[in-house]
Structures are given as C-alpha cells and as structure tokens.
Amino acid sequence: MASLAVLLLILSAARASNAAAVRVGLTRVHSNPDVSATEFVRGALRRDMHRHARFARELASSGGRTVAAPTRKDLPNGGEYIMTLSIGTPPLSYPAIADTGSDLIWTQCAPCGSQCFKQAGQLYNPSSSTTFGVLPCASSVSMCAALAGPSPPPGCSCMYNQTYGTGWTAGIQSVETFTFGSTPADQTRVPGIAFGCSNASSDDWNGSAGLVGLGRGSMSLVSQLGAGMFSYCLTPFQNANSTSMLLLGPSAALNGTGVRTTPFVASPSKAPMSTYYYLNLTGISVGTTALSIPPNAFALRADGTGGLIIDSGTTITSLVDAAYQQVRAAIKSLVTLPVADGSDSTGLDLCFALTSETSTPPSMPSMTLHFDGADMVLPVENYMILGSGVWCLAMRNQTIGAMSTLGNYQQQNVHLLYDIHKETLSFAPAKCSTL
C-alpha cells in the first residue's frame, strides 16, 4: 500500500445567521515515498493509542461562491487529516489537524520560545494582523466563561492549557478573521472566529501548526460557522490520487439510495465527553455470522465511561475487549494464512504472513456494524490492512477504560452526514473519489 496524503478543499463558509454552506473536497496524493505501509500503520496506531491512553482528551455569507483550502494526510506520523486555513489580516496560511473529537481551534503564535514545536511555515504573529483581538473571559465561546463568573474583572482575558491524549497546548484565547480559499477569486473571509493563540505546546503535532476542532461544543468550527449539518467522504487508503469532499451547511444533505440513519446517543454533559459524537453500536457480524458480543458492551454508562464515538482524528478502530476478542477470533478462523507477529512492525495485534510481499490476500466476507436502526457494511479493505509482507486486522482492543472509537480507516468510501439539528448520523457506501 502506497503512503498517501490528502488534500481538503473548502468550497464555501457561512455563519448561522446567513443561509450558506461549506463545501470541501478531498484529494489523495503521494506523500513520503520512503515511508512503508507498516511504518504508517505503526505511526498511526501509536498516535491513536496515545490519543486514548488518557480517559478522554481534555459563515459570513459566501454569496454562492466557492472557496478552497488545501489539506493533506499527516504522514508518516499518523492518520490525521490536515486542513490548511488562513488567519489574520493580511491572511497567513497554516496547517491544522481536522478533529471531530475536540472543539478548540488553535495555532502556534509568535513570540514562541523553547516550548514550541517546529513547524514548516512561519508562525502567525498577532501583532502583524489588523483584525486580531483578545477574547474576553465572559464570551460564550471562552474556555474561561464558567470560571470567570457573571461579573469577570475588567480586561479579563482567557488563558488556557488544553490537554489531549497526544499532547497539550497553552496560550491565550483570541478572536480573528479566518479566510477560506486558495485564490482571490474564490476566497471567503469569516470574521470573529474564536481560536487559541498558543505560545507553548508539547512536541506531538508533527505535520501541523495546530488543530481545528469540529466537535459538538460552542468553540468548534462547526458551531462557530453555524453549520447545522456536515458530511464527508474519505477516499480509499489504497488510492494514491483521488478526490472526494467534505461539506458543512445545507449542501451537506445526503440523498439517494442506500442511505441509513442512526441517532446519536446523548453525550454526557461533562467535558470533554460532551464534545464527542456517540453512537449506539448494538452488534457486529462477519459475513452472515453474528458475533457473541454482550448486548451492553458498547453502552454509555451513567458515569460517562464506555460508549462508542465516531472520530475523524483516530485512524484505527478500537473496540471494548469483550467485542474485540470476538472479532479477532472470527477473523482468525476465516484466514488460512499463518499468523505472524506484527506487533513490532505494525503495532497491530492480529496479522497474517503472506507468501510474498506481492501476493494477494485471500477473499474475505464483509463485516457489518449494527447500529441502532442502521447497518454499516465494511468491505474487507475497510477492516484489513496490507503491510510489508503481512495482512493485519485494522482494529485493536480497548482495555484501558476509555470509550470505543470508530476510526477513519473504517470510514473510507463511506459518505457520512452528521445532522446536528436532527441528532443523527446518516451514511451510505460511496466511491468517494468520484464525488
């Protein structure tokens, strides 16, 4: 499997008070040719496990025009998607991880000393922008609003220290104009976006200059743009040159045959669980065989533990151990190849040795994820991953008490619609490179 990159093209942006939408295209291109498939899997799994090693991770109207913002796949360091946005006046572009599992939008800001990580482009400098402002503590999208109380002191500005499974960042919450689009003809400027101006961060963000939260909270880009719905379609990992799309706003509607819909499970009110998009996974089948998984295996408990989320920032799906062991046993019983130890080369638990690096893996039945009222059918290429001489189950067990996660590897060639107003996820199989 070739190492890949992804380009994300934002085609329009709007706020809630204006009837407009955000349209995004995704293009896969070759990234670092020296990175093997097994190195990619190992890097992605390392970041996924760090991401969940903790209990949880702490539109002005476009007038119908289209705008564009390039993105790429975060390789070789992991499987995140990197969006390129422009910030400030004059606008300065920066790459940031697109993450449905968090809310805060942030980038590194100058001055930034020894606690900042290296990034490819120049740092955003608020003193060079005519539209920069500091976000007051009492702002509805301030992380400090609850702490500041009803009458914060005059001049109170919000300092933050945000912790993720993969690292941390700290700085001051600010407000700026964001520009979407790659050329003057298709650019749309959106003023008043709240974001984090970070001047200290851990060194865990290779390939980006920050992060764009797309979660359920008020600080996410989805919420700030007033996008009542958004959808995306991830092109196959095996396809090195392909184009697909992400849409935010009314044009994200998913129509046609084969569309299935399942309700979101109400998120706990406590942060950060309140950010996540929870789903009710009721069972898993391999081929026509329903696996013997306890009916409450994926239940979201009253204390906020458990459950299953769908996350664009995680590559490899993790399942609670009681379910994972059933999936593992079913796959092992169907594959006649010798079992190989792929823990060192890929970090994955179940791998099979191919007769040669160019040999074709055997045919396998589809895997079906049974959600509340809707089945998601995964072809073999969505749950098995081909490495250097090994063929591995692209799933892992979740034994550390955190929620299970449906990662983006399992989402490839599935068109997904997050309807925020209806509190539903709709999906349909698609050839994402043709959308």
Catalytic residue numbers, as ranges: 99, 311
Q: Encoding tokens for residue 317?
A: 């799906």
Task: Say if residues 430 and 232 touch (Cβ distance below 8 Å).
Answer: no
Residue 32 neighbours by CB under 8 Å, 6+ apart: 3, 75, 76
Extract the tokens encoding 208.
Answer: 């980006």
Residue type, 322: A
- Strand order from edge to edge, sheet including 289-290: 289-290, 281-286, 367-371, 374-378
DSSP 250: G
Backbone angles phi, psi at 6, to 5 degrees: -130, 135
- Cβ neighbors of 411 (< 8 A, separation 6 or more) are 234, 310, 312, 382
- The residues, any chain, with a CB within 8 Å of residue 118's CB and separated by 6 or more, are none
Report yes or no: 158 and 137 within 8 Å, Cβ to Cβ.
Answer: yes
Dig out the tokens for 77 from the structure: 């360091």
90 preceded by a cis bond (ω within 30 of 0): yes
Measure the CA dihedral 242/248/249/254, to 10°: 50
User: What residues pair up with 200 in beta bridges, in sequence order?
Assistant: 170
